[in-house]
Amino acid sequence: MSGLNPAQLPQLRKVLKFYKVSSNVTGVFLLLLMVTWGIRRLPFLGFDLWLLGPNGFLTFEQYGIDGEGLPDSGFNLTVWILIIHGWLYVVYLFADFRVWTLMRWSFIRFLLIALGGVVPLLSFITENRYAKMAHTEIAELEAKS
């Protein structure tokens, strides 16, 4: 059992909700990133996902070296998914940090949870495992009170 502070239980419940949401959203964007990166990098593909470009609402646009051949209008969703995931990972790390500090867990747990934002599918596993652990510790503390 960690050294939970009973006075922080309401705050901890809010932080856990925030962690769950950030974990799932970050995980979804990481999966999108991996799919679009694979389409971009695998041999014989070399496509970016393009939104509102000259060739339609949502298209795959082939590019050459240094991005030549990509449309001049629209949005490169491959790049935007990468950027959004990067910022969501920062939010995810903040949520991880808040749960870790309030639960007073070991630094190894912080690192394992942090890996969830960069290893595909791991954010869903860590969210499930560590949220359950946190709820169990909270229930134990409440039972003692």
- Integer Cα distance of 26 and 23 in angstroms: 5
Check residue 54 and give its pLDDT: 92
Beta pairing, strands 47-53 & 56-62:
antiparallel
- pLDDT at residue 1 above 60? no
Check residue 2 and give its pLDDT: 56
Q: What is the pTM of this model?
A: 0.88
CB atoms within 10 A of CB 136: 11
Token pair for 101:
């500090």
Least Cα distance to 75 among 49, 95, 97 occurs for 49
Token pair for 60:
């795959």
| Per-residue burial over 68-98, b = 16 or more CB atoms within 10 Å of its CB, e = otherwise | eebbeebebbbbebbebbeebbeebbebbeb
Check residue 5 and give its pLDDT: 85
- Integer Cα distance of 20 and 24 in angstroms: 6
* Amino acid at position 89, single letter: Y
pLDDT per position as a tens digit, 91-144: 999 999 999 999 999 999 999 999 999 999 999 999 999 999 999 999 998 888
- Integer Cα distance of 58 and 68 in angstroms: 19
pLDDT per position as a tens digit, 2-53: 578 888 999 999 999 999 999 999 999 999 999 998 888 877 778 899 999 9
* Contact predicate 81/112, CB 8 Å: no
